[in-house]
Amino acid sequence: MYIVVSKWAIKPGKEDAFKAASEKMRDFMRSQPASQMMEGFQCADGSAMAIHGYTDEASYKKLMEAGGAFERAAAEHGIEDCAEWQWSERGESLDRETASA
């Protein structure tokens, strides 16, 4: 499994809008053919973390390419109107059983 962890800074006063947009984005991401896992949580500092699992790196890159499915969904649901992407870490799962599934 190819795993991506992303941090988002929620814009002040946009917490409710972020919650609504992030729920729609989670549903969208979970519906993608390569998606194996999608979870999110709010951090103690008020930011949000998203944890994604994909079948492989190539599928992730296809989803995230410029003008691709993620970019279109993010614009449709207004995620960047209420939060700013901070960073992402990416890599292959260390769990051999999960990685070979």
Give the pLDDT confidence of 79-88 residue by residue, as tens digits.
999 999 999 9
Beta-carbon count within 10 A of 82 CB: 20
* Residues 6+ positions from 94 with CB-CB distance below 8 Å: none
Give the pLDDT confidence of 13-22 residue by residue, as tens digits.
999 999 999 9
Give the pLDDT confidence of 50-72 residue by residue, as tens digits.
999 999 999 999 999 999 999 99
pTM: 0.86
What local confidence, expressed as pLDDT, does residue 95 receive?
A: 79
Percent of the chain with pLDDT over 70: 94
Q: What CATH number matches the domain at 2-93, 3.40.50.2300, 1.20.810.10, 3.30.70.100, 3.20.20.140?
A: 3.30.70.100
**Class of residue 83 by CB neighbours under 10 A (exposed 0-12, middle 13-18, buried 19+):** buried
Domain-wise residue ranges, the chain:
2-93
